[in-house]
Amino acid sequence: MIDMEPTMLMWSTGDKNPLAYYRQVPGVKRLTVYFDTVPGQVVERARLDRVLELLGEVGFGLAVVETFVISNAIKLELSARDEHIEAYCQTLRNYGAAMRARGLEGPYRICYDFMGPENWWRNLLSVLDEEDRSCLGYDPRQPEPGLEQLGDRPRLGYPERYTQEQYKRVVAMFKERGEEGLWSALEYFLKAIIPVAAEEQILMGLHPDDPSFNVRGRPRIVKDGAALQRVVDIVPSASNGITFCPGSLATNRRNDVMSIAKQLWPHFVFCHFRNIRFLAAEAFDGEWAFLETYHEDEKGSVPIPALMKLLFEKGCKAPYRADHAPGMYGHDANFGYGLVARAQGLSYLQGILRGLGA
């Protein structure tokens, strides 16, 4: 029996695809939803209800929330920290109440991250591979992406809006805090929110840093198996779990993603699968150059079939989805989230599990 459920990611606002398109992806009954939230503010019950209604109108349920964004005030332990944490706790209560009101039993799931000042970081935004697929990547030898490449997104992957000068100050604050400062903030946050999550039957899955190394002097802390173990040890609870993203972890060549999965799979709340190719054999001041590639790629560095076999044999029950994929067939790459490539990637993942469960 296959216990892992396939899902697809949609956006609560501004999704480029009609919900009806997601219905055409075989085997998907529930979606994961990225909530375009204002960090530090409560996500109100009415908004959660509306998203659930929209999903229900086309026959979908909600598998995972990605993500209720954690503010930089929490990560930097600024004066607004406790106010923002209380807003986050109220959001968790609203989420649990909205799900129960529709007769949906827990556990409910949230994928979140503790990266800053940006979220996932890339500076190669449209590199063509040998099949002319448009790929994302990171190369420490290349400059940061220019604003003209990002459109209306001031910084790739992060929702807080800053002027250029404000952004420089925030980056400087993160560098000054360092890794142990971020660990202090994460511990404080988890000790505050995990009891609330447990009361609401919510499983919190922390996503590893992407990429999983310090980027241009910015500290990253959730970047290997030891860090993930440290996270779950801070508050031992079923509600304090991991979003397993081997594609993020594999960006650091020192990480053995198979060993991490063997050690920590009981804590997996959710799984993302993507693949990467390295652009150089060596690191550059501790940073690795890589390009995101298709899920099935013989040159890829993520052993996706072996990982899925391990999770299947262990009886892992975490939902999963195809993560970043190249732009294909002339469709909008959408910074790695083009619908066609993700749907094809998901079919590949489903095929692996079907073969194992046959």
CB atoms closer than 10 angstroms to residue 120: 21
For the chain, what is the mean pLDDT? Answer: 91
Beta carbons within 8 Å of 132's beta carbon, 6+ residues apart: none
Predicted confidence band of residue 94 (pLDDT cuts 50, 70, 90): very high
Q: pLDDT grade, residue 160 (50/70/90)?
A: low
For the stretch 95-143, pLDDT in tens is 999 999 999 999 999 999 999 888 888 888 888 888 778 888 999 999 8
- The more confidently predicted of residues 158 and 326 is 326
Q: Does the pLDDT at position 16 exceed 90? A: no
pLDDT at site 159: 53
3-state SS assignment for residue 45: helix
CB 136, CB 276: distance < 8 Å: no
Evaluate whether 282 touches 231 at the Cβ level (below 8 Å): no
d(CA 33, CA 75): 23
| 142-146 long-range contacts, CB within 8 A, separation 24+ | 144/216
Q: Which of 144, 141, 139 is nearest to 277 (CA)?
A: 139
Q: How many CA atoms lie within 13 A of 214 on its CB side?
A: 12
- Can you give the pTM of this predicted structure? 0.94
Phi, psi of 22 (to 5 degrees): -65, -30
CA–CA distance, 237 with 239 (Å, rounded to integer): 5
The reported pLDDT for the residue numbered 149 is 47
For the stretch 245-285, pLDDT in tens is 999 999 999 999 999 999 999 999 999 999 999 999 999 99
